[in-house]
Structure 1
Amino acid sequence: MATGQLGIAVHTTSPIAPREAVAALPAYSAGKPPQAAEGYTPYKLSSNENPLGPVPAAAQAVRDVNTLHRYPNPGAEALRAALAEHLDVPLEDIVTGAGSLGALTQLISAFAGTGNDGQRDEVIYAWRSFEAYPIVVRTAGAQDVPVPVMTDGRHDLAAMTEAVTDRTRVILLCTPNNPTGPALTHAEVTAFLESVPSHVIVVIDEAYLEFVRCADPVDALALYREHPNVVVLRTFSKAHGLAGLRVGYAIGQPTVTEHLRKVAVPFAVSAVAEAAAVASLQHLDKVHQRVQTIVQERERVVTALSQAGWTIPETQANFVWLPLGRAAVDFAQAAGAQALAVRPFDGEGVRVSIGEPEANDRFIELCRTYSGGPELA
């Protein structure tokens, strides 16, 4: 504090800084909306959203909520009860969160950080994978340990096993992997669990579970029942078309979930989100019909890209990955010129969500004519 000419105390300014770990965090980059382009209908293919939206019953449930002036149930009991019945798991094994990312944040906060000895716990994950992983891990004060995916976009489970140390607390398996697309198999994950110490939590992040059509898909619920260190993450954002309401959940044995509840954000799942999610669970046949429509479009897109000469990873999600490397941003700009918003990862590739048929048609045609060509993929 300094004194001015009139003897009045004047506060001197100094920069306001966050703690060092936060200052060093990468910024989360959400998919951007499309820009207008003359002669084109704009489409957003950058955020892996469900272009078909929620089932009518879920949309109606949102309109029927008349308790906006009241706090929601802190534990989302109605949703957890519906999930427990649907999944045939105990109610206490389910903890809800604001999307599967909210559930993951709770888990990392509870099980990984900086110990009393000043050493940081370690969290292993494949990379490239979900962009929020390093942000969540570092925010909690833990050390992230990214393990590069293989050339086909798959997890390198052998390398992830080798990365385990006595400081490892959590391992994240994203299946299907976002943004590359491949899914792990049940046999792969079963063998991996046998190689991991039983005190290390293994998270099976299944945000895109409903789109999987590969042979031997992971039965994450069976694995959680067999292994106390397995936690399953799921969401209503993708298949259920409720991305705007932010509702997801973790499934784990009570030795894990009792601690997740301690760090859960109170009222994270709103009454509106809970009502919509419960209604969507009650109409799963219609949810699955929507998912199958997207899967069919995915297969049409993949076939067309293959015929055009592109080599892309096998995708089991609602998006495709173009491993364009240094041409990623250029391709995204070319898409933007045609009012298509896609998600570039500079120097690596481009993730393109499966959208409306017209949007997919335009994307396919862009891939057929793109000057960079499939030889970069």
Structure 2
Amino acid sequence: MTVRLVEPTRPSRRFHATATPMVFDLGLSENPFPPLPSVMSAVTSALAQANRYPEFLPEELPRVIADHLGVSPDDVVVGAGATGVAMQVMRALGDGELLTSTPTFDGYPIMAEMAGMPLVPVPLDSGGDQDLTAMRRAVNRRTGLVVLCRPHNPTGTVLDAAAVRSFLAAIPHRVPVLLDEAYVEFLDPADRLDIRALLHRHPNLLILRTFSKAYGLAGLRIGYCVGRGKLIERIRNQQLPFGTPTASIAAVRAAYAAGAELRDRVDSINRERIRLRTSLRACGIEVPDSHANFLYLPGPGVATALRRAGIKAKAYPDGSARITVGDPAAGHAVHAALVGLR
């Protein structure tokens, strides 16, 4: 099936370099396309009031998000992207240990150090999944926060829904669990979790999401966390006054209203990811089955080959790399750079 984008798109950032005629920046898992036209229009209109301060503490944006999710506005805390909200979470929870997989989103080790939380990394299993058995065994009286990513960053793998439910049931209620769903919109609807049911069952659960990825609003820095009771109140107490721009409200309203256009765009990115993964696996590169807007390319030598081709990627110490997908021209350049590597 051919997916038609609803408007002309701008591909991944490219610039001319002396050694290479074209360079692609694929290091930050950004959406390669600009914001949807209706969102651009809404944000532009909102900027006419940029001389005015936003709300001292955000009320309208949490209400818009809560209405969309079917939860109470009291259950939603917003911040400067998922990263900003995750930092609020860590500062609210004190100095216990942060338990997470490795590799993981590279912001977590950085933020853990900033928040004074010792990091307890648990290696992924052989399939690139988070090892829930090992993570559960690593929880102890010093654990202050457990982080799960679904889909996982950087492999793009997806934990089985039943396994997530069993894991949450096995974690003591005194230990908060942050479920990072930054890439949830790229999942098939059948693979998505019922967050309302999970939150009702697990008072220690926090759900983290962002408008930076599928919605293509990384530059506006809009993220949010959903939780319940005293736990989410602790997160809200870390809210930065005047920290939520008025344009964010307009952007989110418009983004929610553009559901069909968003689905077309996500379908396009997913199709390009599948095409590129298939072509790379045919070259002998064992690329995990990603469910996000990126692919994890196991090393050794992958990161070096991409760099020599003028392609910026998120590189790992073993020579592996994570690349953003969605721009067909960038995908062809990646394939050309890696042909013959295996």
TM over 0.5: yes
Instruction: Give the TM-score normalised by the residue count of structure 1.
Output: 0.83
Residue 70 (structure 1) shift: 1.6
User: Alpha-carbon deviations, 1:181-236, whole Å to 9, x = none?
Assistant: 11112111111012111111111000011112396443334312221111000000
**How many Å apart are 1:295 and its aligned residue?**
0.5
Q: Is the 1:94–1:252 contact (alpha carbons within 8 Å) kept by the matching residues of 2?
A: yes
2:146 equivalent among 145, 150, 171: 171
Q: Given the alignment, which residue of 149, 152, 161 partners 2:136?
A: 161
CA shift in 2, pair 1:51/1:248, >3 Å: same
1:71 & 1:271 partners in 2: Cα distance? 8
Give the conservation status (yes or no) of the 8 Å contact 1:33–1:341.
no
State TM-score, norm by structure 2: 0.91
**Structure 1 segment 328-339 matched on structure 2, within 5 A:** 328-336=302-310
Counterpart of 2:53, as a letter, is Y
1:314 counterpart = 2:289: yes
Partner of 2:7: none
- What's 2:97 paired with? 122
Match of 2:34 in 1: 53
Q: Which sections of structure 2, spanning at least 5 residues, go unmatched?
A: 1-12
Q: Tell me the CA shift for residue 79 of structure 1.
A: 2.1
Cα displacement (A) at 1:35: 6.1
1:125 aligned partner, one-letter code: T
The number of aligned residues is: 329
Instruction: Please show how residues 181-260 of structure 1 align to structure 2 within 5 Å.
Output: 181-213=156-188, 216-260=191-235
Moved more, 93-102 or 277-286: 277-286
8 Å contact kept, 2:273–2:293: yes
SS in 1 for 2:309: helix
Aligned: 1:98 with 2:69: no
Residues 348 and 230 of structure 1, relative CA distance in 2, 3 Å threshold? farther
Letter in 2 for 1:218: L
Amino acid at match of 2:126: T
Larger radius of gyration: 1
Question: Contact 1:45 / 1:355 at 8 angstroms: preserved in 2?
Answer: no
Which residue is 2:327 aligned to? 356
**Partner in structure 2 of residue 40 of structure 1:** 21
SS in 2 for 1:331: helix
Question: Percent identity between the aligned chains?
Answer: 36
Q: Deviations over 1:310-365 (max 9, x none)?
A: 2122211110011104x2442232231xxx22221232510011031111111122
Letter in 2 for 1:54: P
- Match of 1:43, SS state, is strand
User: Counterpart amino acid of 2:139?
Assistant: V
Deviates more, 1:213-222 or 1:151-160: 213-222
Q: Distance in 2 between matches of 1:353 and 1:70?
A: 36
Residue in 2 that maps onto 1:273: 248
1:136-170 per-residue CA deviation (whole Å, 9 max, x = no partner) reads 11211121111111122110111101111111121
Which 5+ residue runs of structure 1 have no aligned equivalent?
A: 1-31, 114-120
Change beyond 3 A, Cα 1:299–1:184:
same
User: Which whole-Å CA distance do the structure 2 matches of 1:81 and 1:214 have between them?
Assistant: 24
Cα distance change, pair 214–188 in 1 and its aligned pair in 2 (3 A): farther
Question: Relative to 1, partners in 2 of residues 1:295 and 1:74: Cα closer, same or farther, differing over 3 Å?
Answer: farther
